[in-house]
Every structure is written in C-alpha cells, then in structure tokens.
A and B are shown apart, each in its own frame.
Chain A
Amino acid sequence: MTVLPRALDAEKVRADFPILDRTVRDGRRLVYLDSGATSQKPRQVLDAEREFYQRHNAAVHRGAHQLAEEATDAYEGARATIAAFIGAPPGEVVFTKNTTEGINLVAYAFSNAATAGPGFERFVLGPGDEVVVTEMEHHGNLVPWQELCRRTGATLRWFPLTDEGRLDLSGMDELLNERTKVVAVAHQSNVLGTVNPVRRIAERAHRFGAVVVADAAQSVPHLPVDVTELGADFLAFSGHKMLGPTGIGVLWGRAELLAAMPPFITGGSMIGVVHMDHTTWAEPPQRFEAGVPMAAQAVGLAAAVDYLTALGMDAVAAHEHELTCYALERLAGIDGVRVVGPLDAEARGSAVSFVVDGIHPHDVGQVLDDQGIAVRVGHHCAWPLHRRFAAVATTRATFYVYNTRADVDALAEGIGQAQRFFGTG
C-alpha cells in the first residue's frame, strides 16, 4: 500500500502570509494567482531575514571578527540547507541572482572557455557544434543560448511541440547526435505547465557527451526535485518563486563540470592568487560568487526551504495537482475559453494559461484585477511559444501552497464577469 502524503492545510498556511490579509482595489479580498511570476513570503522568511540583519550582519568570507564568523556560518549553513533540499552536496550549489543569471553563468562558461587556457577545453564550443533547446522555453533559457551560438558560431536547434503542448520527441534520435554539446530544457513550462521528461532527454544527450541544463524555475518550488534522479548536469532556479526573497537564485552543477568551467563574473572573493598582470581562480562554488554575496537573502531562502520541507514537497505537489485538476475542470465548463497547454493534469504543473474568445488577455486581466484577482497577462516571456499556438498573448493563473478551491471559483466567476462586461458571454 502506498503511503499518502500529508495533506496540506491551505487555510493554515494562509495565516503565515501577512500580505494575504490585505485588500486591493477598494476592499476586495486578494486572490493571488501569480505565483509563477513571484510567490508571496511567509512570516518565517521575513523573520529570518530581519533576524540576520538585526543580529549577525557582516560581509561573509571576509574579516575575522565575531559578526563576520556568524554571517559566514549563516550563509554557508543556508547553502547546506538548500543543497540538501535538492539532494546535492553543498559544494555543488552556487548562489546567483536568479535563474536567468544561473543559465547565463553556464552559457558564458562555454564562450569564455575558448580563451581561458588549459583545463577548460571541456567547454570550448565552435562552428559545427549544436545547442538544443525547446520551443516552450522561457526567454531566460532561450536568449542566452541564442547569444552563445552567435558568439561561438555553434548552431541552435530545438524540439518542436505537439498541439497538446508537450515536447514532440519523435525526432529526438536525429536532433540529439554527436554534434550536440548542450541541451537546455525547461523542467516545467511556465506557460503550459507541462513537466518535461528531463531524464529521458538527458540519457540520450549523455550518450554523446552533451551537457544538460534544466531550467527548474517552475519545478523546484512545486515538485520534489532530486538532482541525482533528474539526470541533468545543471539545474537553475530562483528563490523568489519558492517563498524566498528576490535577488537570490541557485545554480546546481556536477562538481567535475563546475571545476572545468571558467568564471562568468570576476572580481573579489572568486580568486586564488592575484598579481598585477594575472589571476588564478578559486575552486567552485566560490569561483562563481564574485563580490560580497547576498547573505540575508540566502538565509531567507533557507528559511523558505525549511518552510516547504515542513509542509512536505509531496504534499505541496499533491495540493497543486488538486487545484490544477479543479481549475481545468472549471475552465472547461466555460464556453469560449481555451486552455493553452495539456488538458489532463498528468505530468503537468499548476500554470494554467488560457484565451477567452473575443477578449484580449489585457482586458481579461483588468476585469479580474477589478475583483481583486491577480493573474499574469501577456506572453509570459515565452514569445515563440505563443506564436506556436497562434496566440498574441494569454491570461495565466498559477497556484501555490496558499491557494484554495475558493480562489479557483473566483477565477472562473471572474472570467464570466469579463465575458458579460464585454458582451461575449
């Protein structure tokens, strides 16, 4: 018999999020359905950040005074907590600004390798090499690879999508070949909600020695993710989408690959020995953390990880799965609404994007906002994906630990309100 995950009590969770008590637009209850853009923060995270500044603030990895020691312990302790959350050793976790910076860090390692000298040949890229992405990528996992190809002469290729909004893997045997050097794929689409079979893709890519980069901005906050099971070589995610502060993200990378990568940003803290005319690099992860790091944010993110761990990531995923099923069911019941993305909730996260016949997403979003419902409208930084589905833009609802079935009901009623207002319903 399988063990059922602990059920998540969303009402109890809500009490931890002060912002959910406020009203918007003249006294409306806030219905926050934009966690895919950024999540709200529980009191525990806010308290951890405040406690750091009030008691332990100092520049980490510098100075021998007591506060510097405490701040360094807090920062490195946060690294260990976050590493354990994804099943990685602490030395494989690099703190970045956000997912986008983590992906750029890897992309620039490839272009910097050409001139980085001995020891970095593993990352040299050039004409004839291929970089493979997918048509569903967020611009953050597309543009850095376009630019890498432009700088190095490598060729960008991509997996197409099925009409249902899943990766079309039928051409994978041709697409991933001996020329493939990098495969960069979203673990979970920020628009479609689709969860991609990263392991299957990685197994094929690894046969040719390619490096596999998973954009986990939308998966680590919502699903149990263990890097050894996932099969990728790099994993990038952002703190602010998982109840943590803005300004901090994580790049996990296999130790042997991090060791073979030249730095992205250079300066203080990332050095071995500095002379007037040349410098050697520190070992990872410090090699990739130039300048005074974001210690308070790391502490806040560790508190967010502790919060999610206490809820249980299985319970978080199960809660979102239930809301996703319910949302798909409610939206299917509204004439003139088309969901862009899988209609069944298997291998699918909680991003639910849709179009409403005859009403532009901006106008849908405005009517929802008038009722206190916060959604995202536009192309959600995935313009080629929208072009693929012949949509100028979509309206997107995303769910998280503090959302309830009542929020889904509010969304469905709000869409009906928009249809009545614009005379299309």
Chain B
Amino acid sequence: MKLEAMYQEIILDHYRNPHHKGLREPYDTEVHHINPTCGDEVRLRVKLDGAGGDARVVDVSYDSLGCSISQASASVATDLLIGRTVDEGMRIAAEFTALMQSKGEGEPDEDVLEDAVAFAGVSRYPARIKCALLSWMAWKDATAQTLSADPNASMEERVS
C-alpha cells in the first residue's frame, strides 16, 4: 500500500518514458552532479535567452543514471522549467524543495507543480529526498553559472 503512495503512476510513467532526455546543443553551461551516498549522477545542460531573472529557459537537457525517483524527477523538472523565465523556474524549484522537506505534511499547489505533486509521498522517506532533488539542484547550479558569466546579470537575481 505504502509503495503505491510513493511510486505514483505519474512517477513510474516519467521513469519509463522520460521527457526531454538526452544532451542537446546549443547550451550555455553543463554541470555534473553526483549524489555521493549512492553514486547517482546527472549531467545537465541549460540554454538561456536573455539576462538576469527575466532570462528565458530555452532548453534543459540531461543524461542521468539513477533510481526511478531521480529519473522521473529530472523528467518532470524539464517539463516545468523549459519555456519559463529564470525567476519563475527558481520559484517552482523552491516550491518543490519545500514539498520534499515537508516530511509528508506538505500540501502541494498543483497549479504550480503540475506532475511534480506526485512526489509528495517521497518526502516521507528521508533517504530518497536527495534522489528527487538531484536534477533540480543541477539546474539551479547551471543556471546560476550561466547568469554569472553574463555581465548584465546581477548577483541578487541568480540566487533563489
């Protein structure tokens, strides 16, 4: 019973048929994030258009090795982030991080998180939270690096 609460059908769908997977050109920054406790890893690229928080997320592409939760989370993240502004993306990332840290008590806003609400059950399992956050952390890092390389971006705008 509890298993199904964690492995929602939405999560298993994204795991079996991940969206936007594969590394693509063009891109501004590529990062490689590893979860040292289990060896899961993601290589993630970001392509932005514009400067600062108003920059548009043109593409997020990735290649990853890991469990169903980390794979599905990467897929869901790209769905939510591509086409948004950086500010919007950072707000979604913050909302998702808060949900993951809610110990199963969070009430996710489906209007903001869409398919990512399915991860609410994961937050009950502390050992799996890092899996769910891996690609989001990679995206935040790649985005911050891209913006800091842009002379028009200010420090305030790239920290969520």
Residues of A within 8 A of B (CB): 25-26, 360-363, 366-367, 370, 377-379, 383, 386, 392-393, 421-422
Contacts and interface: CB of A to CB of B under 8 A. Distances in A.
A25 B2 contact: yes
Given A362-B40, A422-B68, 18 more contacts: A25-B2, A360-B68, A362-B38, A362-B131, A366-B6, A366-B125, A366-B128, A367-B3, A370-B3, A377-B38, A378-B39, A379-B38, A392-B39, A393-B38, A393-B39, A393-B40, A421-B3, A421-B7
Contact of A386 (B37, B39, B67, B128): B39
B3 A383 contact: no
Contacts of A363: 67-69
Nearest to B68: A363
Contacts of B50: none
Given A362-B67, A362-B128, A362-B131, A378 B3 contact: no
Contacts of A367: 3
Interface residues of B, number: 18
22 contacts: A25-B2, A26-B2, A360-B66, A360-B67, A361-B38, A362-B68, A362-B131, A363-B67, A366-B7, A366-B125, A367-B3, A370-B2, A377-B38, A379-B39, A383-B39, A392-B39, A392-B40, A392-B65, A393-B40, A421-B3, A422-B12, A422-B68
A347 to B, nearest CB: 28
Interface in B36-93: 37-41, 65-69
A27 to B, nearest CB: 12
Contacts of A370: 2-3
A370 B68 CA distance: 16
Nearest to A364: B67
A379 B38 CA distance: 6
A363 B38 CA distance: 12
A25 B12 CA distance: 22
Contact of A366 (B3, B12, B39, B40): B3
A422 B68 CA distance: 10
Interface of B: 2-3, 6-7, 12, 37-41, 65-69, 125, 128, 131
A421 B7 CA distance: 10
A110 B125 CA distance: 43
Nearest to A26: B2
A392 B66 contact: yes
A243 to B, nearest CB: 25
A360 B131 CA distance: 12
Contacts of A362: 38, 40, 66-69, 128, 131
Contacts of B40: 362, 392-393
A386 B38 CA distance: 11
A181 to B, nearest CB: 30
B112 to A, nearest CB: 27
Contacts of B12: 422
Contacts of B68: 360, 362-363, 422
Nearest to A387: B39
Contacts of B69: 362-363
A348 to B, nearest CB: 24
Contacts of B125: 366
A95 to B, nearest CB: 29
B146 to A, nearest CB: 28
Contacts of B2: 25-26, 370
Contacts of A378: 37-39
A393 B34 CA distance: 13
> Considering the complex of A and B, which 5 residue pairs feature the smallest CB-CB distances, nearest first?
A362-B67, A360-B67, A378-B38, A379-B39, A370-B3
Contacts of B41: 392
B37 to A, nearest CB: 6
A366 B125 CA distance: 9
A282 B140 CA distance: 54
Contacts of A422: 12, 68
A386 B65 CA distance: 14
A367 B128 CA distance: 13
B82 to A, nearest CB: 25
Contacts of B128: 362, 366
A378 B66 CA distance: 10
Nearest to A367: B3
A2 B119 CA distance: 59
Nearest to A359: B68
A378 B36 CA distance: 9
A377 B130 CA distance: 14
B123 to A, nearest CB: 14
Nearest to B66: A360
A372 B65 CA distance: 27
A360 B67 CA distance: 5
Nearest to B131: A362
Contacts of A383: 39
A377 B66 CA distance: 12
A135 to B, nearest CB: 16
